[in-house]
Amino acid sequence: AVNAEGHLCAKPHGLKTMPGQEIDVHSVIMKALATTTNDNKKVQFPVILRFPDVLEDRLNTLHAAFRSAIDNSGYKSRYQGVFPVKVNQNKAVVQDMVNFGYSESYGLEAGSKPELLIAMSCLTKAQPGAYLICNGYKDADYIALALSARAMGLNAIIVLEMEEELDIVIEQSKMLGIEPVIGVRAKLLTKIPGHFGSTAGKDGKFGMLAEKIYEVAEKLKKMDKLHWLQLLHFHVGSMIPTTEIVYNAASEATGIYCNLVNEHGAKQMTTLDCGGGLGIDYDGTRSGNSDMSVAYGMEQYASSIVQAVRLKCEYNGVPHPVLCTESGRAMASHHSMIILEALSAIPEPQDEDTAEQLLSKIQDLHSRQQPRTAAVNGGDADMCSHAEDLKKHGIEMYKLGKKLSKRVTGDTQPIYNYHMNLSIFTLVPDFWGIKQLFPMMPVSRLNEKPTLMGTLVDITCDSDGKIEKFIGGGETLPLHPLDPKHGGYYVAVLLSGAYQEALACKHNLFSGPSIVRVKAAKGGNGAFEIVSADLGPTSEEIISTMRYDVMKDISSVIEERAKKNDVWAMVEPLMTNGLTTMPYLNEYKAPKTT
Ligand code: PLP
């Protein structure tokens, strides 16, 4: 929402937020900048604003969706979900999830040993019986840890990715004297299109085909351990685009579940875990025909699963299982936004070429495309460099084509490069890695027409460090001219609460942002409180992840050299400041358009 002052506002209770309850994001930024962090430092940009109220609302909405689908269809079991820790491992997020989901026995999913340790500790605060789903490839240590979780009274379920993992479970269970509960991950034939479905289907990377699953059941039966097997899991990929695919996947998996119960005697089966994939509509089109959009909401998702499972179970005379999902993106995306600070805006040099000159450049590039056979005759290396040339020429021709079209249509508005206090690789890695687009918009001046067309350029030394594709397909974002009289100019990256912090990389040794947690204050009139503010990793912390002993390898070496040159008095405070602040630009003066 946007308020009367033209400021972006957050809706802490999602669609249930009443008019007047919205939180003014610009005011939050101002207050955050005046707040000292827990260790008495100033909040630095970039900043993530977290709204735990939004997490709670997403979780409540998911549970309400399943409750109503179950009630309306006469489904005879319940929904009991988990949050996949990989989606956002931050302590506050995982703890909030467990806390907000307490009454629904909401649990956690782990995909690695460190995530399992986080889950084991956070679930000590969960309702007894909440699931601890152990996914991912496992070695003996992982399995032993999961068994120890069960011994501690946590409801840990070891989901077998491969048949071989069963042997490790048997061995570790014998050694530790702990009975496991296991699940199996099914490799379904139902696939989703696009990027997120590329590892699913029968040749997919994860899980076992139905026949293999039945072999696992038979092996357990022979050992008289079939009662260990209690859960069937599948995950067809993130961002499932349509309810048709949700339905088909759940139906196919329920078929396997029913065969396990009826044909292989796995009568102790209790749970069908439908994995993640509940999508969100990044581009707002509800079309479901790209990786940016899904054609349904939580209610339709829940009712597709409930109906598919109910019908298949009733057809096979199998009791309805407990339904679990591992929805991550749909739980966490909305709860945080990344706030980027503009440093300056500079127009891109205008192209001086006439339409005729541009056309002749395109023709020249076209005529330089070598015949393919010449390259083939030259062997693999030539073929590769030929392909590289074709790619380069193709990109160049595309760019020239765009310039030509602008010349012809008389669209000569310059593009402004907005330099932002940002590393794309660290803050929006999915933009860089998989071309994921996020909604972005200025935080203030939204009652003033944005007159410039801007791209967002980051501060890494990398040509990929530029955002020039936005939701809706445009190559620029409408922005306002920077003017010091307005103070700072901030752009919010929305729907960024899932995966981005987890996937962040350390290009140029930029690192995570400051994190400010904001809660709606009692009274519901837009008042808010900053519950915590923490700096992102300092330069010292990020340097040490590259195996430097900062004291020994950096500080003392610089000290010795500075002393030799008799400049230590000058260098010492600078070095200390450099090491103890975040690597981003600090205390930047009010930004300008030039
Ligand atoms: N479960 C498993 C096994 C996954 O691999 C993933 C992520 O891809 C998830 C759950 C979370 O998926 P999503 O964020 O799409 O809900």
Q: Tell me if residue 540 falls in helix, strand or coil.
A: helix
One-letter amino acid at 499 equals: Y
Name, in order, each residue with C-beta under 8 angstroms of 138's C-beta and a sequence gap of 6 or more: 146, 158, 161, 165, 168
Residue nearest to atom 12 of ligand 1 (CA): 276
pLDDT at 384 over 80: no
- Which atom number of ligand 1 is nearest to the Cα of residue 239? 15
Position 319 scores a pLDDT of 98
Give the residue from 268, 236, 269, 230 showing the smallest Cα distance to 251: 236
* Ligand 1 geometric centre to CA of 131 (Å): 16
- Distance, CA of 536 to CA of 371 (rounded, Å): 53
pLDDT grade for 372, boundaries at 50, 70 and 90: low
Test site for ligand 1: of 87, 89, 496, most ligand atoms within 8 A of the Cβ? 87
Proportion of the chain above pLDDT 90, given as a percent: 80
Asked if the ipTM is above 0.90, the reply is yes
Q: Select the more confidently predicted residue: 78 or 377.
A: 78
- Distance, CA of 81 to CA of 274 (rounded, Å): 9
State pLDDT tens for residues 199-244.
Answer: 667 777 789 999 999 999 999 999 999 999 999 999 999 999 999 9
Question: What per-residue string of b and e applies to 306-333 under the rule 16 or more CB within 10 Å gives b?
Answer: bbbbbebbeeeebebbbbbbbbbbbbbb
Position 204 scores a pLDDT of 75
pLDDT grade for 371, boundaries at 50, 70 and 90: low
Residues shown for the chain? 594
The average pLDDT across 116-143 equals: 98
Q: Is residue 239 part of a domain?
A: yes
Q: Tell me if residue 564 falls in helix, strand or coil.
A: helix
Position 198 scores a pLDDT of 66
The span from the first CA to the last CA of the chain, in angstroms, equals 31
The average pLDDT across 391-420 equals: 83
pLDDT at 360 over 60: yes
Mean of the per-residue pLDDT values for the chain?
93
pLDDT at 401 over 60: yes
Question: What per-residue string of b and e applies to 477-501 under the rule 16 or more CB within 10 Å gives b?
Answer: bebbbbeeeeebbbbbbbbbbbbbb
Test site for ligand 1: of 326, 434, 495, most ligand atoms within 8 A of the Cβ? 326
Position 206 scores a pLDDT of 84
DSSP 433-483: HH-----EEESS-TTS---EEEEEE-SSS-TT-EE---TTS-SSEEEPPP-
pLDDT grade for 583, boundaries at 50, 70 and 90: very high
Q: Is the peptide bond before 319 cis (omega within 30 degrees of 0)?
A: no
CB 458 within 8 A of CB 424: yes
Position 270 scores a pLDDT of 98
- Distance, CA of 319 to CA of 310 (rounded, Å): 9
Token pair 């959009």 is at which residue? Answer: 293
- How many domains is the chain partitioned into structurally? 1
Q: What is the CATH number of the domain that holds 301?
A: 3.20.20.10
Q: Tell me if residue 154 falls in helix, strand or coil.
A: coil
What six digits make up the tokens of 360?
């002749």
pLDDT at 589 over 90: no
CB of 52 closer than 6 angstroms to any ligand 1 atom: no
Q: Tell me if residue 580 falls in helix, strand or coil.
A: helix
Test site for ligand 1: of 238, 246, 281, 333, most ligand atoms within 8 A of the Cβ? 238
Q: Is residue 574 part of a domain?
A: no
Name, in order, each residue with C-beta under 8 angstroms of 177's C-beta and a sequence gap of 6 or more: none
pLDDT at 593 over 90: no
Position 408 scores a pLDDT of 79
pLDDT at 373 over 60: no
pLDDT at 376 over 70: no
Position 445 scores a pLDDT of 97
Task: List active site positions.
Answer: 461
CB of 327 closer than 6 angstroms to any ligand 1 atom: yes
CB of 207 closer than 6 angstroms to any ligand 1 atom: no
What six digits make up the tokens of 438?
């996020």
pLDDT grade for 363, boundaries at 50, 70 and 90: confident
What six digits make up the tokens of 537?
């990793």
Position 164 scores a pLDDT of 95
The average pLDDT across 562-581 equals: 97
State pLDDT tens for residues 155-208.
Answer: 999 999 999 999 999 999 999 999 999 999 999 999 988 777 766 677 777 899
pLDDT at 365 over 90: no
Q: Is residue 408 part of a domain?
A: no
Q: Is residue 367 part of a domain?
A: no
State pLDDT tens for residues 26-52.
Answer: 999 999 999 988 788 889 999 999 999
Question: Could you list the residue range(s) of the whole structural domain that residue 279 is in?
Answer: 50-335
Position 202 scores a pLDDT of 74
Give the residue from 254, 246, 257 showing the smallest Cα distance to 297: 246
Position 19 scores a pLDDT of 92
pLDDT at 459 over 60: yes
The average pLDDT across 493-517 equals: 95
